[in-house]
Structure 1
Amino acid sequence: MEWAKIYGNIFTVKMGITTAIILNGYEAIRDVFQRKGALSSGRPYIPTLDFLHGKGLVCADYSMKQRAYREFTLKYLAKADIEKQTENEIDALLQYIRNTNGEPFDFNSTISSTGSNVIGSILFGGRQDYDDPNFINLVGSYRHAAELSAQASIQNFLPFLSFLPQCSEGKVAWNTFASHVKRLLDQHKLGYDARATRGLVDAFLHQFKEGDSDQKWLYTDEDLLANCQSLYLGGSETTSTTLTWGMLCLLSNPDVYEKIHAELDEVVGKTRRPSLADRPHLPYVNATLMEIQRCNYIAPFSLPHKATKDTFIGGYVIPEGTSILANYWSVFMNEDLWPNPREFQPSRFFDEYGILKRVETFIPFSIGKLL
């Protein structure tokens, strides 16, 4: 953000052997990722995620296959009863907390299990017990790998440093995680029934086994595995980390959670849990969730994009293959958009009449075709 004050909102940084374009501010990000989405939606090679072999929703380069997978997944998620699966997992989480009998416990680790089970339910149609050794190993493996990735990220810009201990350990950790997901997928395939759809994996298998013959080449076992791993990677740890930061924000601002509690008591009552149908009637809860996402401590930068062709951006020619990174932190910590941006203030999402407002620059899930 300081460099942007000197060089403008679009500038070049040399990161090791990689040349990267940095986008600062909402207008620059929207111009490149949304208005020129097809020209900036490539995905460069990411060494720390080498276990995906350039496949899956996270690492696949922009192509017809990548677009087909994305569309297929979004269509399935739009029809799936994810709310019911989440409610079942909330019951399990609450019971786990009750069983601690008021003793301290690791909230982040527990909520990682919760997020992982929701993703697992979407993929496979079932959940695993928190004390299941295989499930503990799965959750532990991707948490450990995610921690090592931060230390090993230097190899994304200087690949020849892959011999460093943190890089080699990170590779082992990600391969361990990948093997746990493969085990789950292999077990699930043994119970496959063409007449039933237990989850996204079965929907994928139906398409592979019985879909349009002209499209079957899009659906391979390697791609299915990479997509399962990608969804665990993109949906579990990010969600649990966001919720952990949210818990910290609420504990640090008791006036906020008291208002949340009061609104829930008034709208929902104490005899049932909140549902998505209640969402329009819970403005303060919505504002708090948005403020938690605005304080985006888990992903201040986008995953790297890649120019698919020579592209004009902000008056500059960006050569094909150049990496492009969006600085989301520059949007959410912009004092012109969010006065006192480092303060936790759900009220910033209300207008002068106390009505929840739509804020165009609120982009917690990015904009355009890729994260």
Structure 2
Amino acid sequence: MRNNTILFVAGEVSGDLHGSNVLRALRAQHPDVDAFGIGGQRMAREGQEQLYDINQMAIIGFTEVIRHLPFLRRVFRHLEKEIARRKPACALLIDYPGFNLRLAKILRKYDIPVFWYIAPQVWAWHKSRIAQMAKLLRHLAVVFPFEVPLFEEAGLPTTFVGHPLLEVLSAEMSKERFYQKYNIDADKQLLALLPGSRQQEVSRLLPEMLKTAQLLESQIDNLQVLIAQSPNLNTDLYEDYLEQAPVQNYKLVQNATYSIMNYSKACIVASGTATLETGCFSTPMAIVYRVSPLTYAIGKRLVKLENIGLVNIVAGETVVPEFVQDDFRSQHVAPYIKSMLTEPERAQKVSDKLTVVRAKLGEPGASRRVAQRIAEIAWPA
């Protein structure tokens, strides 16, 4: 009898999205797949048995990981027990390298073939991981074409599958419907705040974002602020920060992030996948990020890139500014955002440069290609 059990591990919101699309594509061809592992609401809706939820796994930075080591040890012990008991035919590990590389070692011990989807950014730091991955993985699916030779030179079979964002990258509703649903005045200029999907990110970034919005409200009369709420976080978290830095004209918006990106005139975006998504809508933005001082000090010594924003890295130049750590201050960010809202010609130049980003991400269909490769690895002909 064929072993239909597949382990899926996604530790972040973006991984949950992409993992759910892969699982759906896999089940379209193999309805009897039995999926278990770590994911979020989307993967659960596709029928995955969740051993842990992504909210439990949302740990950022070196110091934060140290504080959560007892919990992480329990997770690994539990996963190893389940791997030994269920003996999955294949494991799909989605990004999340700090965790998944250690898990790959456990899977190798039990002779479980490991397929990795969305490579860690070894071109930025931790190039030593390439050799490690080559020893542990059966196959790697990457989402940027320039990543292929980095891994193939180390002997790791690697496929560029295209970026999964291209499968989902469209506004959730029409502009008219969006304005109507959230009671937005058509005469207002929309400024979007996207503080990330994890509680730690929101706690570190949203307060300064709100201060920036307050400053801009004092300078621009017809401003409407939209705050993208992550569906896995409670509304109270956002409202607590709004009480500390009240913005006069704001809307807290959930489950319409792509509409926010598409219809806003400018965005302030947490560094990460969201910068790439915003760039694909050609919307001008400022990239911001802040972590603990120790995490930043360590990261600065290790990361060897001029830019940290994915959209700038993919574009191959600094198209939009990045405000990181101590440089992320309202008085620094506000002048640039104001220029995007009040100087149409300058904003259009930024939008034009962002149009090249989407073209560099390949063709839609990444999830189908990954699902096909899972089947080839789990059930070879």
The normalised TM-score by structure 1 is 0.27
Which is richer in strand?
A: 2
**1 or 2 for the larger relative contact order (CA 8 Å, sep ≥6)?**
1
> What is the TM-score normalised by the length of structure 2?
0.27
